[in-house]
Amino acid sequence: MFLEQIVSQTLMDLEQRKQELPLAEMMLRAVAQPPPRDLLEALRPSHSPGDHMGSPLQWTKSQIRLIAEVKRASPSKGLLAPHLDPVELAMTYTANGAAAISVLTEPHFFLGSLQYLRAIKEAVNVPVLRKDFIVDEYQVYEARACGADAILLICAILSDEQLQYLLKVAHDQRMRCLVETHNAQEVQRAVAAGAAIIGINARDLVTFEVNPYLFRELRYTIPTDRIVVAESGIRSSADARRLARYDIHAMLVGESLVVSNDVPTQIRLLLYGANNGVQVKICGLRTHEHLNTAIEAEADLLGLMFYEPSHRYIQPEQAKMLLENTRFSSGAINWAPTPDLVGVFVNKESDFINDVAERIGLHFVQLHGNELPEFCQLINRPVIKALQLEKGKDREMVRTFRDVAWRILLDTPSATWGGSGLTHNWHLARRIAQETPI
C-alpha cells in the first residue's frame, strides 16, 4: 500500500519538475558538477595479506562500514526527528566514523529534500547517497546536479529494462548505485544487471515490517565479488554483530541514529558490535533445555552433532523435531539476536550432508574429519572446517582450506575426532588469525 502511494506521488512530482526544468537543462547541470566521490571504494574493505580476491573469504578480515542516514520521518513511524538539523547530523556521523551518508530526498512520506542533499554534500568529505524512489533518468541527473555521488535503485519498483538503463545512466555520470533487493529473485536480477553494490533490505516495502532473518537467507546468494549492504532493522550492537556472521560489508542505519540522544555513542556501539565481537558457538545440544539456555545466553551459533560415535550425537529427525518444538513451544528462537544452526559432520557423503542441511534448515556445516578442500565445495552451505594442526604444517594446512571454507576451526590434535577436552595452543591461534578468519 505504502509503496504504490509513494511511487504514484513520485511520478506526479516528477512531471511537474520536468516542466519547471527540462531534462536537457538538468543534464547540463549534472555535467557541470565536480567528479563524484566513489561509494564503492568507500565501502570496499582493505584486504589483509592473507585474503585472496575471488575467494569466499575475500572480505572477512575487514571492517564493516557504516552508511549513516539522514531521515526526518518514515511512513510506518511518522515524524522521527522534528528538530533535525541535517547538516549537523551528517557532520556528526562523519566525525564518528561513517564511511558514507545516505540522504532521504522524498518529501511527502519521509519529509526529505534535495536541499538537504546539496547542503550535506558541501559539508562532508565522504560519498553522499541520494535515497529516493528513482524510476526515471531525470532523477539520476537531478541527483548528480545536486551533488549526489551515488543513488539508490529499488528492484521492487523497476523492471529489468529500467534497472539496466538507470545503472547505465548513473555509470555514464560516474555515479555508483546501491541496488536494493528484498528476495532471492531480486538478488538474481541485481546480479544479472551488473550491480556492484547490492543491498539486502529486511523491511517489506508493502507492509514496512522488518524480517531480521532475511540477511542470512540472501547473503550467500550474492557473488563474492559484490559489495553487500544490510538495510533496516539494525538498532543494537547485537544486531551489528550478527551481520559480521554473514560477511556483510556495510550496514545502512537511519532510525536508530536519528532518534538517539547520543549519536556518537550509538555509532560506536554499532561499529564495535560489527567489528569486535567474538562469536560463540555452543555445540552438542540435544534437549529443549540445552537450546533455550544457549539462546538466552545469546550464543551466536548452535551446534548439532551428527557424528554417531559422539555421546552428543543426535539423529537428524530428532534434531528436526527438537528445533520445531522449541520454536513453537517457547518462541525463544524468534527473538533477536537469532542464533544460527551449525551441523557437525565427520567424513560423511556430501549428498547426505546437503540433505540433512536442507531438511533441518542448517545455516552452516562444520566438517570435522579428514575432508579435502574439493569436498568443501560440494556442500550447499558455508563450511566451517575443523583442522587438527600438525607442528610445522599449520600454515600450509590453513592455506589449503581458507579459499573454500567460511571459517577455520582450530582443534587440538587427538586420536579421535571431535572435542578432546584439551586447550588449544593460543600462540599458534594468534599467528594464524593474522592471516585467516578462525
Tens of pLDDT, residue by residue over 382-427, are 899 998 876 656 777 888 887 888 888 888 777 667 666 677 778 8
Question: What is the rounded average pLDDT of the residues 55-84?
Answer: 77
pLDDT tens per residue, range 248-265 = 999 999 999 999 999 998
Q: Which of 106, 137, 142, 180 is catalytic?
A: 180
Q: Which of 227, 258, 276 is the last residue of a domain?
A: 276
Residue 289 and residue 392 share a domain: yes
Catalytic site residue 232? yes
Is the residue at 409 inside a domain?
Answer: yes
Is the residue at 186 inside a domain?
Answer: yes
pLDDT band at 335 (very low <50, low <70, confident <90, very high): very low
Residue 316 and residue 186 share a domain: no
Instruction: Say if residue 289's pLDDT is above 80.
Output: yes
DSSP 311-345: TTB--HHHHHHHHHHHHHHH-GGGSSSPPEEEEEE
Is the residue at 261 inside a domain?
Answer: yes
pLDDT band at 299 (very low <50, low <70, confident <90, very high): confident
Catalytic site residue 201? yes
Helix, strand, coil abundance in the chain, percent, nearest 5:
40, 15, 40
Q: Which of 71, 121, 281, 385 is catalytic?
A: 71
Catalytic site residue 25? no
Is the residue at 32 inside a domain?
Answer: yes
Residue 113 and residue 33 share a domain: yes
pLDDT tens per residue, range 125-157 = 999 999 999 999 999 999 999 999 999 999 999
Catalytic site residue 276? no
Is the Cα dihedral 357, 363, 369, 371 positive or negative? positive
pLDDT band at 243 (very low <50, low <70, confident <90, very high): confident
Closest by CA position to 182, among listed 208, 214, 152: 214
Q: How many domains does the chain have?
A: 2
Cα(196)–Cα(171) distance, integer angstroms: 11
Q: Which of 74, 102, 113, 232 is catalytic?
A: 232
Is the residue at 413 inside a domain?
Answer: yes
Is the residue at 130 inside a domain?
Answer: yes
Catalytic site residue 308? no
pLDDT tens per residue, range 164-198 = 999 999 999 999 999 999 999 999 999 999 999 99
Structural domain boundaries enclosing 222: 2-276
Instruction: Say if residue 437's pLDDT is above 80.
Output: no
DSSP 108: S
Residue 371 and residue 262 share a domain: no
**104: domain CATH number?**
3.20.20.70
Instruction: Say if residue 347's pLDDT is above 80.
Output: yes
Q: Which of 74, 102, 113, 201 is catalytic?
A: 201
100, three cell numbers: 558514507
Q: Which of 276, 292, 310 is the last residue of a domain?
A: 276
Cα(259)–Cα(215) distance, integer angstroms: 24
| % of the chain residues with pLDDT over 70 | 89
Question: What is the rounded average pLDDT of the residues 5-30?
Answer: 96
Instruction: Say if residue 61's pLDDT is above 70.
Output: no
Residue 291 and residue 197 share a domain: no
Residue 294 and residue 217 share a domain: no
Residue 168 and residue 46 share a domain: yes
Beta bridge partners, 128, equal 101
Residue 308 and residue 234 share a domain: no
Is the residue at 438 inside a domain?
Answer: no
Task: Give the pLDDT of residue 178.
Answer: 98
Closest by CA position to 126, among listed 168, 154, 96, 85: 96
Task: Give the pLDDT of residue 390.
Answer: 66
Summary mean pLDDT of the chain: 87
pLDDT band at 356 (very low <50, low <70, confident <90, very high): very high
Q: Which of 186, 231, 255, 371 is catalytic?
A: 231
Catalytic site residue 71? yes
Is the Cα dihedral 302, 306, 312, 316 positive or negative? positive
pLDDT band at 329 (very low <50, low <70, confident <90, very high): very low
Is the Cα dihedral 49, 55, 60, 66 positive or negative? positive
Residue 336 and residue 212 share a domain: no
Question: Alpha carbon 85 to chain centroid distance?
Answer: 29
Cell 511520478 identifies what position? Answer: 11
Residue 191 and residue 249 share a domain: yes
Distances (CA, A) of 332 to 49, 74, 93, 218, 323: 41, 30, 35, 23, 11
Residue 313 and residue 194 share a domain: no
Residue 336 and residue 227 share a domain: no
Instruction: Say if residue 55's pLDDT is above 60.
Output: no
Residue 186 makes CB contacts below 8 A (sequence gap 6+) with: 155, 156
Q: Which of 258, 276, 294 is the last residue of a domain?
A: 276
Q: Which of 61, 131, 281, 385 is catalytic?
A: 131
Is the residue at 412 inside a domain?
Answer: yes
Task: Give the pLDDT of residue 54.
Answer: 34
